[in-house]
Amino acid sequence: MKTKVAIIGSGNIGTDLMIKIIRLSPSLEMSVFVGIDPASDGLARAKRMGIKTCHTGIDGLIKMEEWKDIKIIFDATSAKAHVYNWGKIKNFKDKRMVDLTPAAIGPYLVPPVNFLDNMDIPNVNMVTCGGQATIPIVAAVNRVTKVHYGEIVASIASKSAGPGTRANIDEFTETTSEAIEKVGGASKGKAIIVLNPAEPPLVMRDTVFTLSAPADREEIKKSIHEMVVEVQKYVPGYQLHQEVQFDDIPESEAVFIEGLGMKHGLKTTVLLKVVGAGHYLPEYAGNLDIMTSAARATAERMIAKNSSK
């Protein structure tokens, strides 16, 4: 029997997630799709697909008959809206929330890195699209050798950045930087996002730089390749754009890192690209695809773990 879920947020991310659950999920069942704009394309699409809808937000959802059977709620709204939504949901002890906004009320979760540490938490945060794409790589290096500094640059097509993404740019950089440290294991993290206006739109590209203690390069490369395979299990379009690159930073050429001082060691550069699955959004919107895919994978793993207890 599938677990009933609801999605709050009828924009691009929420709609893509809904379609993924309907088409792909072996354990999740769409119950209600929730928005605040009755004329939104997402709500209209949900109705055409036979899904119950609500255009009065979380307050309307709680009043619906379906509410009592819903076990997982995905929040695909905004950081500010999530604070309100969680305030309404947190007292329902039989509900769990998967947060796709940068609000970060709950712990950061990147499925192949720290799911087991957070599988019983009632509200988990999916960091950001850049975080989901790059933190697995930082963690892959860190499990071989200590990462002092991790920097990521996420370049996404401007067309794929909707109002929610644009309103949360500051939260994106702060949340991703913090998650590079808390989940990726870097002593210091930094995140940069670039909205690429190129026409035709380009797929998501991510660059990951780490400065770590010296280590066997082949071991690092092996760890990175293994992590890429883990992410591909739920994001098939996730791939290395080039082979892993290494540079030695000798002590005589140590670099200053704010908060850490002068550091030297091994610099690792990883270039990634993420091609979307094209369920609701164009293939160039890999940044949105990796978020919805990670959220779906997280909820499915929650169900699997609960079933095995």
Q: Mind listing the pLDDT tens digit for each residue in 260-282?
A: 999 999 999 999 999 999 999 89
Give pLDDT tens digits for 135-169. 999 999 999 999 999 999 999 999 988 776 787 78
How would you label 33-46 residue by residue, b for 16+ Cβ within 10 Å and e otherwise?
A: bbbbeeebebbebb
Q: Which residues of the chain have pLDDT under 70?
A: 164, 308-309
Name the residues annotated as catalytic.
129
Superfamily per CATH, domain 3-126+289-308? NAD(P)-binding Rossmann-like Domain (3.40.50.720)
Tracing tokens 């004329």 back to the chain, one arrives at 39
**Fold match, 3-126+289-308 / 129-282:** no
Domain ranges of the chain: 3-126+289-308, 129-282
261, β-bridge pairs: 257
CATH topology of domain 129-282: Dihydrodipicolinate Reductase; domain 2 (3.30.360)
Q: How does DSSP classify residue 50?
A: T
Q: Specify the pTM.
A: 0.95
